[in-house]
Structure 1
Amino acid sequence: MEWNKIEALLERYFEGLTTLEEEQTLKTFFQGTNVPPHLESYRSLFGYFAQAKQERMTPPIQLKSRRNVFIGWLVAASVVVMLGIGFMTWNSPSDAPQALAQTELGTYDTPEEAYAATQEALAMVSGHLNTGIESMGYLKEYENSKNQIFKQ
């Protein structure tokens, strides 16, 4: 084959204008032994295509999923919780319902007793509320001092 025809095909190849038959002609020419020295640099290009065509990919490596590990931890945690509940149930006193029935539930026999208990509870709440209000007095004093310093 004439070298100028190969050079013309190379020009068309690099411009993207060649047909499949013309590309096959170039591949077979550069795989042969009769390649001129000034076109020798293109031999490796077309030789690469032949070599790459025969390469095969290995199957991908299967990685262990993190989801399986997460599910394992969930199962282990649920087993620990169930064992804890079972242990607490096993060691609880068997007379717990009777003890609950015997405790005082806040019922009074006479209205006077209920009134006295209510007064005691309200006095306790009032005492705690007054303690909180006294603490607010300190905050008011702090606010006044801050306003004097920053002149607002």
Structure 2
Amino acid sequence: MVLNNIEKLIEKYLNAETSLQEEAQLKAYFNSDDVAPQFEAYKPMFQYFSESKKEQYTKDVPLKSKKTSLYPWISVAAVAVLILGLVVPNFMGPTEKEKQEAQLVYNQTMEAFSLISIGMHEGKSQLTNLALVGENIEEGVQQASKLGTFSTITNKILKNKSH
């Protein structure tokens, strides 16, 4: 009966279905001297588990890693650069000479834009005059066509009177 029970427990153990109490029964059986010959193959496995429980690691485990990472330092450097980029321009603003040079460049630019604007207005008035000349030429062509018609009619009248 005991062998039948052990066989069922081994089968459950290999299928990972045993409880802690059943595993304790198997360990006790395989650590005893009267193990059945058909179960001798399992004896070293259970004895190993019992022996490995007793083993202890005796060396000191270092808690600090000797290898340092650069990532924290990179983030610190990035924050420092960002702060310097935001703070330094406020303290080290443009000097009085730089402000005067900037004002001079601004005034020269505005003067150049003013000259361009005047030139554009002159060009616009010339285009307006050109448009008026074009209209006058068109009106003259119409008048000339009327004059041509008048001349033709006059010639017909004069030819009719002379006959």
What is the TM-score with the length of structure 2 in the denominator? Answer: 0.42
Larger radius of gyration: 2
Higher helix share: 2
What is the TM-score with the length of structure 1 in the denominator? Answer: 0.44
